[in-house]
Amino acid sequence: MMTDTAGNKWLCAELPVVDYLQILELQRQLVDARRIEIINRDIVLLLEHPPVFTMGRRGGLVNLKVSRTFLEKLNIAIIQTDRGGNITFHGPGQLVVYPIIDLQAAGMQVSDYVASLEEIMLRVLAGWGIPADSNPANRGIWIGNSKIGSIGIAVRQGVCYHGFALNVNLALNPFGWIHPCGFKDIGVTSMQRELSHNVSINQVRGAIKRHLESYFGVKLISTTLPELKNFITSNEQTNLAEKEASERSGL
């Protein structure tokens, strides 16, 4: 078990471009590890995804404007997931942030947590001089009628996962193949489009980490994917040993 002995610290894994399904499975494993305190700290993953469309619990295929065959030719998958929301697009140049947070331990309501993720994005954008707004009726971050940041979360036994996606230098054309988030009359924008120049992904990563620390009053402790998987594997081995011991005692 990993215990926190030096104040309020979160584990932070900064990853490159990683397959969506791989990260989805990792999140679910981390939720279980966090829930039973194999990992006794909250965790945040920062990464990008290869091009992929994901659908939330509200569905989304009805909001797909192109055929599956068209997407298959481009090697772009459509994945049903368990987060909130509708259909959206992820791709390189979009920073995705997945906090795995024990909301009950943090004393936070889901609505307050969602608002806090929006505030993180607003503060990051303000650092680049980009004015934006949140809208409680339509979650996410908006510049006029165009969305620049999306939020979709899920909660399992008090532990929250999934998170938010901020468009930095993301190619926006694929959003034209869907009704983003189920809306037929909105646009999608990026930091690059608003500023008319590329923005350093690494600088945005740094800003997100700083604002996570300042807003939640935590310190991010760097970790790696192998270290996280080691905690998960240790948990699975412990569970297997306990199961085998139980079966032997029943013989």
**Tens digits of pLDDT across the chain (251 residues):** 444 433 499 999 999 999 999 999 999 999 999 988 888 899 999 999 999 999 988 767 888 999 999 999 999 999 999 998 889 999 999 999 999 999 988 889 999 999 999 999 999 999 999 999 999 888 999 999 999 999 999 999 999 999 999 999 999 999 999 988 777 888 999 999 999 999 999 999 999 999 999 999 999 999 999 999 888 887 555 543 443 445 445 54
pLDDT score at 235: 59
111-120 — which CB contacts under 8 Å span 24+ positions?
113/153, 113/160, 114/139, 114/151, 114/153, 116/215, 116/216, 117/151, 117/153, 117/163, 117/164, 118/149, 118/151, 118/164, 119/215, 120/164, 120/208, 120/211, 120/212, 120/215
pLDDT of residue 249: 54
Please choose, from the candidates 38, 101, 42, the residue with its C-alpha nearest in 3D space to the C-alpha of residue 239.
38
Supply the pTM of this predicted model: 0.89
Radius of gyration of the chain (CA): 19
Q: Which of 181, 191, 204, 212 is catalytic?
A: 181
**Every domain of the chain and the residues it spans:** 9-233
CATH 1.10.3720.10 fits 9-233, yes or no: no
Give the pLDDT score at 250: 52
Name the nearest CA neighbour of 143 among 160, 159, 126.
Answer: 126
Q: Is position 181 annotated as part of the catalytic site?
A: yes
Q: Phi/psi class of residue 235: alpha, beta or left (left: φ > 0; alpha: ψ in -120 to 50)?
A: alpha
